[in-house]
Homo-oligomer: A and B are copies of this chain.
């Protein structure tokens, strides 16, 4: 259709299901995301899937919507791609649904759609269906995006319940960057200018691990609740104890500094491109090398082991040799982190 967006801001009529909505969808979303399945314009996309398929959903409400290292659009693609990748699934098809506040700038929406397109290309996936809602001014804060995704499982058996005694625990990079970057953006801190979110899609490195036939027992991206939430969930779900060395956990100086300033712990802070993996001890060094050499995970590290002590708990060994429990985070950490 030849319709073009005429207004500079999104209006209620753009969500009405009529002419204006067609113009918005054609001009902004189809122009960035077009592919044969999306273009079919049916009520639902038709996919050809076979065998075991992973399916996941996430709504993104991050504030601010632009931050160092990313924006809500990049996050919406990377986040859902990562949930699929963490199940050993190749991200194949995404849905995308926008809730837009009346008055939202069309130029910002275009920037975000372009950012999504770039991130889609990096993971080799595509948006095949979508939805657009516009709510009156004051009924939402700018823009919320939901993405859901499906993908073919290439490595079976990855599960929070599959962690074995003696497994090694690895982290893919320095932790806490996304939480710290959002905090920095909100507080308008400019001193820490080198700090960017880790926001990235993890499929390329996971693909390397699967291609190398690495026997992955469990794998999770450490989003809300950070490293601490993942390890605690694992300890309970697999009925094991997990012991980590605090000194082995990579944390950048910038994140350390912000944590000291605000009284946060880096292991509670959200990440958006950092994953934790549990696998047999004897292949840990090999997996680490693949992650570092082929997966752009230069700071990946072995940070702990799975034990039969303190079942259901995570024990952290401090640099001074003492041990303490690393608890599941609680309370209000940072709202609207993702």
Footprint of B on A, CB under 8 Å?
A: 11-13, 15-22, 40-61, 63, 83-84, 86-87, 89, 93, 95-99, 128-131, 133-136, 138-141, 144, 146, 148-150, 153, 158-160, 220-221, 223-226, 229, 233, 237, 270, 328-336, 338
Residues of B within 8 A of A12 (CB): 332, 335
- Measured between alpha carbons, how far is A334 from B55 in the docked complex, in Å? 33
Number of copies: 2
Which of A130, A133, A148 has the most CB atoms of chain B within a 10 A radius of its CB?
A148
Find out whether the CB atom of A16 lies under 8 angstroms from the CB atom of B95: no
Q: Tell me the dominant secondary structure on chain A's binding face.
A: mixed
Q: Beyond the given A15-B224, A16-B335, could you list 13 further A-B residue pairs with CB under 8 A, ordered by the A residue number?
A: A12-B332, A13-B331, A16-B225, A17-B224, A17-B229, A41-B160, A46-B55, A50-B51, A57-B96, A61-B135, A99-B144, A136-B336, A140-B144
- Name the one of B11, B60, B220 contacting A332, with C-beta atoms under 8 angstroms: B11
Given that A16-B332, A55-B129, A336-B135 are contacting pairs, would A49 and B50 also be in contact in the complex, using a CB cutoff of 8 Å?
Answer: yes
Residues of B within 8 A of A158 (CB): 42
- Name the one of B44, B87, B150 contacting A43, with C-beta atoms under 8 angstroms: B87
- Name the one of B17, B87, B332 contacting A329, with C-beta atoms under 8 angstroms: B17
- Name the one of B160, B221, B328 contacting A18, with C-beta atoms under 8 angstroms: B328
- Measured between alpha carbons, how far is A330 from B17 in the docked complex, in Å? 8
How many whole Å from A173's CB to the nearest CB in chain B? Answer: 18
Given that A42-B87, A146-B57, A336-B136 are contacting pairs, would A18 and B331 also be in contact in the complex, using a CB cutoff of 8 Å?
Answer: yes
- Measured between alpha carbons, how far is A150 from B22 in the docked complex, in Å? 24
